[in-house]
Amino acid sequence: DDEVALMKDGAVLCAILAPTQNAEQAAAFASRNITAFAMELMPRITRAQSMDVLSSQSNLSGYKAVLDAAEHFPRAFPMMMTAAGTVAPASVMVFGAGVAGLQAIATAKRLGAVVSATDVRPDTKEQVESLGGKFVAPDSDESGAGEGGYAKEMSDEYKAKQAEMIAEALKKTDIAITTALIPGRAAPVLITEEHVNSMKPGSVIVDLAVEQGGNCPLSRPGEVVDHNGVKIVGH
């Protein structure tokens, strides 16, 4: 707000603004006669590709999420063969196969992890598998494909099946990376406190949705939370 106050009357602002979450700031732009373009609302079409800030930033965050996980994970990612025995590769599960999720899958595979991914949009299965990941999803005919390549909110029945599937998968997962967002809504909770309690000590969760409430309620913006030996990264 202090920076908005410094802008001159009639200025033009192009940025990621999250206007649906920041209605007061949008009103402040209007009161100062500032023309503000929320770049994340740019349609994701070929003609607007060079202005697609969401894809460019999501690509980077998906890549960095894996590096952040590697920093906090106490083992190496690839399988390690030694004279004393073999260390199994890290097991990585990615929640959401959008731009960030696909980049996270690709990066984790390059580092030698065994990767699985889940998404409410069945058509992402082919993309996940093309990057060497295993696609996992509840047995359901319901599709979460929304407008503009985004996901929509799912039914309670689907959510119950999804929670059951996630609970089983997380017990065997070393690293979970969550990227699930619904435009204009709080991020859906995918990893509950109960799920975290079931994970092995030394496991890592990287919550890329932390700024919109988080896919894990234990994550905190800008912090690394240690919950019973599980690190929850909220950069």
**Which residues carry out catalysis?**
44, 49, 52, 55, 150
Handedness of CA 38, 43, 48, 53 (dihedral sign): positive
Rounded CA-CA distance 218/24 in Å is 27
With a CB cutoff of 8 Å and minimum separation 6, the contacts of 26 are 17, 19, 36
C-alpha torsion angle, residues 16, 127, 61, 120 (rounded to 10): 70
Backbone angles phi, psi at 225, to 5 degrees: -95, 135
Tell me the C-alpha to C-alpha distance, in Å, between residue 187 and each of 21, 67, 147, 191.
Answer: 12, 23, 17, 11
The residue type found at 29 is F
C-alpha torsion angle, residues 183, 188, 191, 193 (rounded to 10): 130
Beta strands 114-118 and 134-135: pairing type?
parallel
